[in-house]
Structure formats: structure tokens, C-alpha cells
Amino acid sequence: MSLARRPLLALAGAALAGPTWAQGPGLRQLARARGMSFGTAVRGQVLQDDPALAALVAREADLLVPEWEGKWDSLQPERGRFNFEPLRQIIRFAQAHNQRVRGHALLWHVAMPPWLAPALREGASQANAILEEHITTVLRETRETIRDWDVLNEIISNPPGSDNPDPTDGDLRPTPWLAALGPGYAERALRLARQVDPTLRLTLNDYGVEADTPWAAAKRARLLRVVRGLIDRRCPLDAIGIQAHLQMREPFRAEPFIAFLRELRGLGLAILITELDVREPDQLAPSLAERDAAVAEYAGAFLDAAIAGGVRTILTWGLTDRDSWLVQEPGVARRDGQLHRGLPFDAELRPKPFRARLARIFAG
């Protein structure tokens, strides 16, 4: 078939029975058939305002994570006043579509409501009480609907050479939490979560551990040290979330990454890919087709390694270029006016080679 005829045929097919890809199984079914799970981050507002995107989420994902609604700023906008409605909206959507929800994030230094940092400076006992109230109230609320929470998000410090290096050679990232509570805060949060909801999966979620660069290697070492320390102290911890906000300008090599995953699994931990998306390099290929093929190849090599290392759960940070933080967030978006194409579907909700690669991976 000549290239020129393809679009016409595709259009004819679309007119008859919708896009051809949508006639096959969704990624959620393909993943399930392999004993795996595929999910995505969602925002409640988008599910509400964009029915086509909501239908795509229902079709493709069996696991949802709130992109915003589980963060402090959303859950406790004022001190002591909790607002669960936005999170409940996502949970209702998930229930209506037979999807599970994972929680994100009980302790993070971003998305803090304006009152929180000053309150943490009131002293350790106040800070402890605030942490305890938040974790207790939230986990009581979600006990029946969310069975996996990112209890700790991004607590590992960034080594020299990384995008955003921390002014410390300590393993823990300097944050208002560390300043208020000292290095025991991670353990405290995990123990508290276990106490409130004894069968909840407790996950430590972080980024920057994927690439074959000296600073990613250093960050992997930092994460392993922190995790070993927790386990040595018999602190409860069940899983590591690897965010996987991949950057194509960084080399990726399977061996060091798989070795890292094996070490984690050797400690008895499950591993999830929690926030996969791909930032393209500064120098873009000339055509969209080449760009999309390169994104799929980079993500595919990463996912092959992750699966070889024992990962069975994969979530992307959004499904489409229409609603991605890669396009919307100023610090992450491209500066050359181009839009990142780092997710399985484009802004018109058409599947890209990234989606085909996921389907192939799940089909084994």
C-alpha cells in the first residue's frame, strides 16, 4: 500500500467503526492478561470537562492516580479543614469503570498549602501533630477505596550534577519536613501509616534513578542507603515507586537499572513505575513520525528493563499530550515553542508508537 493512501483508508475505517486501534483490547486488558497492571494519572476536572479523554481513560487504564487531588494543597487547604470531595470524584469515576486508585502523596515538599511551611516551623511537637493528623484523617477516609499510597514522595536528595542539585551530601532531601522533624520523619510517617491502616501498601516514591549517568547512579545509591536503613530499623515499607520522568538527553542502559531493581527486590520490596513520561532531547528529529518513534523506542527500552527487573505495574503521568504536565508546567515544558510528545496518545487522542509499544510489551 502506498503511504499516500493510508490516511484515506484510516479515515474510511474511522467513519465505519471508529479508529481501528479502538476496536482491539485496551491496554488495561492486555496488561491484565499478562498478570500486569496499567494505569495513569488523572485530574478530576479533566475527567469532568473532557468526555472523550475520560472515555479513553476508562478504556485504557485499570489503575488511576490523582495528579493533584491527593496532595496536601487539595486535601487540607486550611489548617484542620479537610476537603475530600475532589479525591472522591476520582474514586467515583474509578468505581464506575472498575478501576483501582493509588494514593499520592502523604508527605511531599511540593503542593504544600500556604499555611503548612510556617506551621511546621512552630517546632517539632507541632509539626509531629500536624503530620499525624493529616495521615490519620486521610487514611481513615480512604481505607476502603485506596490500598496503596505514596507515603513518602521525593525524599532522596539530588546529587551534584543533577538538574536540581541539593546543597547537601546527606541522603535525605532538605525540605521543611526534614527541618522540622529531623531525619526520623520518614520512619515516623511509615509507622503511622501502618498503624492507621495495617494492610495498606506503603510506598516510597522518587525520581532521577533511571538514567545511566553518574548522578543517577549516586541517587540510586542514596535511595538504597535510606531504604536499607529503614528496613534495618524494622520500619514498615512495602514498595518503591520509580517515577520515570525520563529525559531522552540522558543515556539509558538496562544493566545498572536492573541491578538496582534486583537490590530493591532482594530487600523484599515490590517495584512500580508510577509516573512514566518522556522529555524529548533539545535537538528534535525533523518529522513528528520520527520524534514519536524515538520516544517509543526510549520508553520501550526502559520498560523492557523494568519488567526484566520485576516490575508488574506501570502508570504513565497522563495518557495524552493534551493534558500532560510536560506541556503545561513552565519548568518542564520546552523553551523552543515545541510541545513534548512524551505520552502514549497525542493531543487529538490518537495513539502513537508509544501506545503500540506498550501494547506489544503487554502482549508479551
Minimal distance, residue 325 CB to ligand XIL, in Å: 3
243 binds ligand XIL (CB under 6 A): yes
Other CB atoms within a 10 A radius of the CB of residue 96 amount to 9
Minimal distance, residue 329 CB to ligand XIL, in Å: 6
Size of the site for ligand XIL (CB under 6 A): 7
Q: Whose CB is nearest to ligand XIL?
A: 325
The beta-strand segments (E) located in the chain are 37-42, 63-66, 100-107, 146-153, 201-206, 239-242, 245-247, 270-279, 313-316
Minimal distance, residue 285 CB to ligand XIL, in Å: 26
Among 230, 240, 228, 218, CA closest to 186: 230
Q: Tell me the one-letter amino acid at 143.
A: R
Minimal distance, residue 217 CB to ligand XIL, in Å: 21
Among 71, 128, 79, 132, CA closest to 103: 71
Task: Between 325 and 354, name the residue whose CB sits nearer to ligand XIL.
Answer: 325
- What is the pattern of x (binds ligand XIL, CB under 6 A) and - over residues 198-217? --------------------
The one among 62, 67, 171, 346 contacting ligand XIL by CB under 6 A: 67
Task: Between 100 and 102, name the residue whose CB sits nearer to ligand XIL.
Answer: 102
- Is residue 203 within 8 A of residue 197, CB to CB? The reply is no
Task: Between 142 and 353, name the residue whose CB sits nearer to ligand XIL.
Answer: 142
The one among 325, 345, 354, 362 contacting ligand XIL by CB under 6 A: 325
Task: Between 105 and 230, name the residue whose CB sits nearer to ligand XIL.
Answer: 105
Instruction: Pick out residues in 143-182 that bind ligand XIL (CB under 6 A).
Output: 153
Compute and round to an integer the Cα radius of gyration of the chain.
Answer: 21
Task: Write a three-state SS string for 101-141.
Answer: EEEEEEECCCCCCCCHHHHHCCCHHHHHHHHHHHHHHHHHH
Name the site residues for ligand XIL (rule: CB under 6 A).
Answer: 67-68, 153, 243, 275, 325, 329
